[in-house]
Every structure is written in structure tokens, then in C-alpha cells.
Structure 1
Amino acid sequence: MRLYVGGLPYQTQEQDLRDFFEQVGQVSFATVITDRETGRSKGFGFVEFENEQDAHAAIDQLNGAQLGGRTLTVNEARERPAGGNRGGGYQDRSYGGGGGRNRY
């Protein structure tokens, strides 16, 4: 099960993210999303757990937790709908994003 992690300190590295979440269970994948041009963290990432029980425990235990003085948002990542303008991947529905002119 893949989780969205928002509110990451900008200096967080992938190993830091993995280490933080492995206090709950076995992490199979962790990534911090970075800006393509600058290489700087965008302040969010994704963590994937070996099993769903650990993933749900991570949501329960780490959503609202502090890391590097910042409050984390942890929830289940949702696949982006096909045909989006940014390609495939995962997206947190509470993140917002998207939009455009004349939206309403």
C-alpha cells in the first residue's frame, strides 16, 4: 500500500523518510519528490509498505506527527486519473492542486 506524505522538511532525504516510517513496519519503497530543474525537495513524498496493516498503522500513528519541526500529513495515495497533464503516478486528493481558469 502506498502512502502520500506531505509537510516534509525540505532537507529530508529518501533514507530519512524510510527510516522514519520503518519505526512502524517494513517499508518497500520511499521517495521524496524533487523539482526537476533545481533538484530541491517539494516537501512531499511517498512511502510504500510491504503490507496494508503496517500502512494503516503508519497513517494512524504518523499523521500529524512532527518531523524536523514540521507537521506531517500521511494518508493513502490515490492513483491519478488517466489523461492528466502530468502523466501517471499517485496523487493525494487532499493536496488540491490542478484547477485552471474559469473553473467555476
Structure 2
Amino acid sequence: MLRYDVKHWEESARRGSDCRSMLFSAPDHFNMTGGSDRRLQEAFRATGQTPWEHLTAIRLTKARARLLSGAGGSVTAIALDCGFSHLGRFAQSYRRKYNEAPSATLARATDQSRKPF
């Protein structure tokens, strides 16, 4: 049952094509789906990740997809839209996960979109 709770919460956090649906905190998302903070903690204890770490990973994945599309605007706009209020931490987390700066991802995507086929 607890694995279902994590999956249900994750699906709630991923809804929508943009990142705006992830601006709530992890407990907010879980409470909106009918769960309690305690149950959320128990469910995530089994995954080895905190709810915040999990939500950050989802936000980073969404931000990367938008950066790779080259159509999401600036790095700042994408980071803020995906729920990152501290741009330095966003860049640090992004670099740790993807081994490159978010600006490098966007530049590469923009360069590829300009190449003729």
C-alpha cells in the first residue's frame, strides 16, 4: 500500500505539460491526494529518498526536458517555472545530476535547432 502511495503522489506531481503543477511542496501534493504527512514519510522511508529529494528529481527532469527542447525560454525562466526559487541551487543540482550546466544544455539544444537538415 505504501508503494502505491508514493506512485500516486508522484503521478500527481508529474501532471501537466509544464512545471507549474509542481510548485506545491511534497506534503501539499500528498495531502491533496488524500494522504497524511506521516503516511508520506513512511512511504518514502522505504525508497531511501525524502519526499523533497524525490520532488526535486521530478522538477529537474521536467526542467531538462524543457531545456533540451530549446523552446522553453531562458534558463532562469525555466528554473523558476519548475519551482526552483534559488537559481544557484538549481544550477548546482542540475550539474550534479546531468554533469553539465543548464545553460550548456540549452545552448546545445538551441544550436541543434538552428542546423539545417
TM-score, normalised relative to structure 1: 0.28
Structure with the larger RCO, 1 or 2 (CA within 8 Å, 6+ apart): 1
Higher strand share: 1
The structure with more radius of gyration: 2
Higher helix share: 2
